[in-house]
Amino acid sequence: MKYCFEKYGKPTWFIDRLIYTYPLHMALALRTPLLVYGENVSYEYGGADGEETYSARGQIHNGVASDISLDELVSATGISMQALELTKAPAAEDLNRLDPMHLSYFIPWNSHSNYLFAKSKGFHDLAGEWERRHTVENYDQIDSRAYVVYAWMKYPKFSHASATDYAARYVRYGLMSREEAVEAARRHDHDLDPACVRDFCEFAGYSESEFWSVAEQFYNRDLFEKDAFGAWVLKHPVWNC
């Protein structure tokens, strides 16, 4: 985790990679060819391989957990190749024995509708418990504060993060105007919640100053500059367009 964070800004690469490989290996081992996934990440949220297809065979290439050389990880961290074995996708001939599918191909995928349905069945959001500073909703990724750090790392790299992601969806869903979405991104995108930072640092063994020193190196100088107070600010913010 520390190596992937410090070199690539991807602290949860190992977890995310396994999300897309481990079920395939287990399906092969247990001879259960039908795997049902939720949404097609690239198609619903944007990605180079964003093809509308029922098949989830290609999702290992969706960019969420793109390849990092296992030889590099073994050499740099001392972890064994055996410990990384399940991060490898099954061979093509094995993968063709499976029929993984995206539920979103058959049912229109709407994060907010999914939330309302879950709430009707007893799901509890964060209302009255925690008002997160970095996003515009209170129900996504609420089971692990530290995990949210990975999603936020898009901000220094690409100048947008969770607030933009959800605000853009809300515009498509008819829940926000573009102007409201722009204001939400301005207020929240940059502001990674301190509770997430504390949990991440406690788990990974960083001080908060060490954490921000690592994050600092990932700020894209084509997109950001520092203001008079030493804070990173966008050179061309969307709210000025």
Distance of CA 174 to the CA centre of its chain: 24
Handedness of CA 225, 162, 17, 197 (dihedral sign): positive
β-pairing, 34-37 with 232-234? unpaired
Q: What's the pLDDT at 158?
A: 95
Query: Tokens 């990880």 belong to which residue?
Result: 73
β-pair partners for 228: none
Count the Cβ atoms, other than its own, within 10 Å of residue 100: 20
Report the distance separating Cα 17 and Cα 4, nearest Å: 12
What token pair was written down for 160?
């947008």
What token pair was written down for 171?
């515009």
Predicted confidence (pLDDT) per residue in 137-190, tens digit: 999 999 889 999 999 999 999 999 999 999 999 999 999 999 999 999 999 999
Picking from 27, 19, 17, the residue whose alpha carbon sits closest to that of residue 96 is 27
Mean pLDDT within 217-224: 97
Predicted confidence (pLDDT) per residue in 94-143, tens digit: 999 999 999 999 998 999 999 999 999 999 999 999 999 999 999 999 98
Q: What's the pLDDT at 241?
A: 65
Handedness of CA 210, 215, 151, 121 (dihedral sign): positive
Whether 160 contacts 181, CB under 8 Å: no
Q: What's the pLDDT at 42?
A: 83
3-state secondary structure of 139: coil
Query: Tokens 């793109």 belong to which residue?
Result: 66
Count the Cβ atoms, other than its own, within 10 Å of residue 151: 18
Q: What's the pLDDT at 61?
A: 78
Report the distance separating Cα 3 and Cα 184, nearest Å: 32
Report the distance separating Cα 42 and Cα 52, nearest Å: 9
Using a cut of 0.85, tell me whether the model's pTM lies above it: yes
